[in-house]
Amino acid sequence: MPAHEADHAYAPTGTLPRWRWDLFCRVVDNYGDLGVCRRLAQHLATRGQCVRLWVDDAALLHRMAPELPAADAAFWRAGAAGVAWVHWQDEGDQALDPGDVVVEAFGCDPPASFVARMAHRVSISGNARTTSTDAMAATAAAPRAHDIGHRAPQAPVWLNLEYLSAEDYVARSHRLPSPQASGPGRGLTKWFFYPGFTADTGGLLREHDLPERRAAFDRDAWLQGWGLRATDERRLSLFAYEQAPLEDLLKSLAEETHPAHWRLMVTQGPMQARAQHWLQARPAAAQRIGITALPWLSSQDFDHLLWACDLNFVRGEDSLVRALWAGAPFVWQIYPQHDGAHAAKLQAFWAWLQASALNPNAEHATGQPAHWARTVHPWWQAWNQLTPWPSGAAWPWQSQVPWRQAVSEARNTLLRRPSLAQALLDFVAQQRPPG
């Protein structure tokens, strides 16, 4: 990323109060849910917030974020900027008091008793507004809003952080209220908050210093750390779900006349064994395709992997966003759904990406697809097993340059908008007046 692109990145103005956040994450499968929640918690902490991350899979949390301490009473009482975690167990409720903001990721439903304690704050805050003159005077004399330990009681701001999508319903549904008329949360309002790719959504997860770190990245030095030299080989990263047609991809690459050599950098998992098994049975293909089997990567090193490669195969929500920030050509494998809804979701993102490349200032540009899009799109479809694999067709390497330009255009448009963490902070500030 050229250094000048960082100059156009969105930068927040002013300061916001420090709030206590409860962020609930239920791990359904794979790593995406926790990956998003952990990243969001850390981004909020860098903006001065105190975050308690509730996770139901302790083993995965220890693997993905071993640096996070357990939340204790001292952490919550101090309310300093940072992240600590709570083991969310359905069979037991720790009876912890809710914070100022409660976020349930992807509709995971916090414990009913916890929601009831949130609702209890409604009556407390309502009584505080209708009590005697003495109470009003006490409120006026209370410390300023940034003093986290001495605020007048207010009901928490309750948000349902939804999945990422480029479909049209996202903009229509973003920031819609859902008043709770019954159940443990009666009297509260739950707000739907949608991340997204357009200005009328909640934005994407992004570190405030990401453009600068990307510009300063030394690709050759990072590759040398893995025993690789800067050569003419094409580097391809591979992070995929198990159903991906890996063998078809390897066959297409092996049949290419240019480039002379591919380097597949495969993330930890079953894809490593599958790739090695296929190549061991095909010595001629193994002469043209080299495999680097990677260990478990930190979030930072996963970014470095994407920055170092010429082409990235990524899967799921969190990795899609990281591929966009990398600015390199990529193929996205969307999480497959049994009802086939993922096909429309994939096409909506593809339409947005293409529109952003045609006109980065337009949200929904129209027009004929560029040549790069016509040549690349069939491979996206085939990788997601929505169409047959294009057997006998050459990988569209001639589209590499315009493909990279298209991704860069989309990335630069997104950089000019608030990140997801900043959009959440701005929304909470609107819903939670000082005092």
Catalytic residues: 33, 317
**One-letter identity of residue 21:** W
Q: In what order do the strands lie in the sheet with 311-315?
A: 289-293, 262-266, 234-238, 311-315, 330-333
Nearest to 203 by CA among 40, 344, 20: 40
Angle, helices 32-46/420-431, rounded to nearest 10 degrees: 70
Q: How many Cα atoms occupy the beta-carbon half-sphere of 190 within 13 Å?
A: 24
Which two three-digit tokens encode residue 89? 């167990």
Q: What is the DSSP letter of 51?
A: E
Q: Is the peptide bond before 369 cis (omega within 30 degrees of 0)?
A: no
d(CA 159, CA 101) in angstroms, rounded, equals: 8
d(CA 6, CA 10) in angstroms, rounded, equals: 9
- The answer to whether the CB of 189 falls within 8 A of the CB of 430 is no
Exposed/middle/buried for residue 96 (C-beta within 10 Å: 0-12, 13-18, 19+)? middle
d(CA 138, CA 136) in angstroms, rounded, equals: 5
Q: What is the DSSP letter of 194?
A: -
Nearest to 314 by CA among 252, 237, 378: 237
- Kind and range of the H or E element at 354? helix 341-358
